[in-house]
Amino acid sequence: MIRWLAGLIGFGLAATSALAADPVTIGVGYLAIAGTRSTLSLAEQPAENDGLAGARLAIEDNNTTGKFTGQRFTLEERRIREGEDVVQAATALAEKNGFIVADLPADVLLKVADALRDRGTLLFNAGAIDERLRETDCRANVIHTAPTRAMLADALGQYLVWKKWSRWLLVVGSHDEDKLFADAIRRTAARFGAKIVQERTFEDKGGARRTDSGVAQIQRQIPVFTQQAPAYDVLVAADESEVFGAYLPYRTWDPRPVAGSAGLVPRSWDASQDQWGAIQMQNRFIKLNLRRMTARDMQAWTAVRMIGEATSRTNSGEVRKVTDFIKGPDFSVAAFKGTRLTLRDWNLQLRQPILLVDGRMVVSVSPQEGFLHQVSELDTLGYDRPESKCKLK
Q: What is the pLDDT of residues 282-310, one digit of tens each?
A: 999 999 999 999 999 999 999 999 999 99
pTM of the model: 0.93
186 contacts 150 by C-beta, under 8 angstroms: no
- 213, 143, 200: which is closest to 172 by C-alpha? 200
Residue 48 is predicted with a pLDDT of 95
Q: CB-based contacts of 310: which residues, under 8 Å, 6+ apart?
A: 322, 325, 326, 331
Counted residue by residue, the chain has a size of 393
End-to-end CA, the chain? 60
Residue ranges of the chain with per-residue pLDDT less than 70: 1-20, 207-214, 216
Residue 14 is predicted with a pLDDT of 40
For Cα atoms 167, 243, 104, give the angle at the middle one, nearest 5 degrees.
100
59 contacts 297 by C-beta, under 8 angstroms: no
128 contacts 120 by C-beta, under 8 angstroms: no
Q: Report the side by side order of strands in the sheet with 362-366.
A: 265-267, 354-357, 362-366
Query: Which 8-state DSSP code applies to residue 202?
Result: E
CB atoms within 10 A of CB 319: 20
Give the integer Cα–Cα distance in Å for 155 and 14: 51
Strands 71-80 and 24-33: parallel
CA distances (Å), origin 114, targets 134, 350, 351, 357, 381: 15, 21, 24, 36, 28
Residue 210 is predicted with a pLDDT of 54
Residue 38 is predicted with a pLDDT of 85
Give the integer Cα–Cα distance in Å for 199 and 186: 10
How many whole angstroms from its chain centre is CA 224? Answer: 35
Number of H helices, E strands in the chain: 10, 12
CA distances (Å), origin 197, targets 150, 201, 233, 246: 20, 14, 10, 22
165 contacts 230 by C-beta, under 8 angstroms: no
